[in-house]
Structure 1
Amino acid sequence: MSKKAIIPAGTGTPIAPFVPGSLADGILYVSGTLPFDRDNNVVHVGDAAAQTRHVLETIKGVVETAGGSLDDVTFNMIMLRDWADYAAINAVYAEYFAGEKPARYCIQCGLVKPDALIEIASIAHVGRG
């Protein structure tokens, strides 16, 4: 098995020992993605929809850097801080996955920074290589 780190241009230094994505045998694993700017500050504090859009744009960048598109995403793991944000998160999520939806799960939990309202990790099949 070959494994390749996927790091989009302009990516900041992670707050822990990981890379944004890891591609192995055509399967891309996208690390848990929080609504961070390149300096690891939370963006759009208090706005779950804007944070979701930021997270999905970041994931899109990782997938595209690996040679795929969001259509290649087969599974999303969604972690949210408060169920009160569920509808706002789903509204934005539906914009990004308008066609055939990937499988997913969604749980409520504490996140690494208190102002972060959402985190998403993804799996995509972007071909063999």
Structure 2
Amino acid sequence: MPKSSVVPEGSGSPLAPYVPGSQADNVLYISGTLPFDAHNDVVHVGDAAAQTRHVLETIQRVVETAGGSMDDVVFNSLFLTDWSHYAAINEVYATFFPGDKPARYCIQCGLVKPDALIEIASIAHLPH
């Protein structure tokens, strides 16, 4: 099965050997996305809501680059560093998925940079 890389314009260089998205047929797999700027520096340090918004906007750019929309996202994996951020994360998350919600799971763990409070990986089924 052929696959293609999905890299939105202006994306920074990943910290490891991966791409922001990988598409196989109509399925788009979106790598774990952290609240990083183009230089891999953490943005909105200490603000879980702002970091979540940044992560979901980055995911949205990957999905749109592949020709889809956030309505095409069917599954999300959420990784957070502290359960105390759960409510703030969910408040922002809900604004990106106002209709039918994707399936998901959420775990608490350490992330690659200590100032990062949230990471999200996604799967989307595109219409084409």
TM class by smaller structure: over 0.9
Residues 27 and 127 in structure 1, CA contact (< 8 A), matched pair in contact too: no
Residues 7 and 62 in structure 1, CA contact (< 8 A), matched pair in contact too: yes
Map of 1:63 onto structure 2:
63
Offset of 1:127 from its aligned partner?
A: 3.2
Per the normalisation by structure 2, the TM-score is 0.99
**Matches for 1:16-31 after TM superposition, within 5 Å:** 16-31=16-31
Offset of 1:49 from its aligned partner?
A: 0.0
CA distance in 2, matches of 1:29, 1:94: 21
Letter of the 1:2 partner, please give it.
P
Map of 2:116 onto structure 1:
116
Letter of the 2:39 partner, please give it.
D
Per the normalisation by structure 1, the TM-score is 0.98
**Matches for 1:40-51 after TM superposition, within 5 Å:** 40-51=40-51
CA distance in 1, matches of 2:92, 2:12: 24
Which stretches in structure 2 are left out of the alignment for 5+ residues?
none
Which stretches in structure 1 are left out of the alignment for 5+ residues?
none
RMSD of Structure 2 on Structure 1 (CA): 0.5
Offset of 1:62 from its aligned partner?
A: 0.1
**Matches for 1:89-108 after TM superposition, within 5 Å:** 89-108=89-108
Seq. identity, %:
73
Q: Point out 4+ residue stretches in structure 1 off by more than 4 angstroms.
A: none
CA distance in 2, matches of 1:94, 1:11: 25
